[in-house]
Amino acid sequence: MKKVNICLLIITLGCAFFTILGELDRGIVIVLKDSSIVLTASLPFIVNKIFKGKLNDGVTFVWLIFIFLAHYMGVILELYNEWEGFDKVVHTFSGVLTAYAGMLFLPQKVDKIWFKVLFIVSFSMLCAFLWETFEYVCNILVGGDAQRVAETGVNDTMLDMIVAFGGSILFSLGFYMRKKG
């Protein structure tokens, strides 16, 4: 899994690098926005270096897939603007991915399947909340309207969280059926 993660990181950074080279004439703000993927994609490796390998490879995998979808395809390739449903696909997938990450953080001593399912869904919803909060704070600090508040009010943010919830429920149903066997 470690090799898969390194390959994903190289693919993500390589794609971003070539895209950035093609956008050098669009101005420094675009180049900086697109270059920020270097930090976001590398974050699990940085955290593991600082905390001596505390993140497992599954969490790193989830993070890299999400960053490729959300940051590279959504932000850099601007699929959020080009395809209206892309945002909801990414948030649904993020619900599945963060539910998977929640499964990786399950307390080992707990045997109750319903607690595990509740933990997985709650972890996923915490991640959705933190992401939407991050977008909100970025909007305040640097301007912009990542949450499309001017256009939709709170509808975009609420739908993002609802489809993430749906993704976490789908994952949790699969988890439940596998455990009940």
Pair (103, 114) in one structural domain: yes
* Mean pLDDT value of segment 26-46: 83
Q: Radius of gyration of the chain from Cα atoms?
A: 17
* Last residue within a domain, chosen from 17, 52, 83: 83
CA angle 42, 125, 50 (to 5 degrees): 30
CA 31/CA 15 separation, integer angstroms: 14
Average the pLDDT over 23-28 and give the result.
Answer: 80
Q: What is the mean pLDDT of the chain?
A: 87
Domain boundaries, position 8? 1-83
The Cα 76–Cα 180 span in angstroms is 42
pTM score, whole prediction: 0.76
Confidence class of residue 7 from pLDDT cuts 50, 70 and 90? very high
Whether 70 and 146 share a structural domain: no
For residues 99 and 161, membership in a common domain is answered with: yes
Instruction: Decide if pLDDT at 176 tops 70.
Output: yes
Same domain, 62 and 137: no
One-letter amino acid at 9 equals L
pLDDT at 134 over 80: yes
Looking at the structure, tell me whether residues 99 and 23 fall in a common domain.
no
Residues 89 and 121 in one domain: yes
Nearest to 135 by CA among 180, 176, 82, 74: 74
- Same domain for 12 and 49: yes
**Domain count of the chain?**
2
Query: Other CB atoms closer than 10 Å to residue 165's CB: what's the count?
Result: 18
CA distance 120 to 115: 9
pLDDT of residue 107: 83
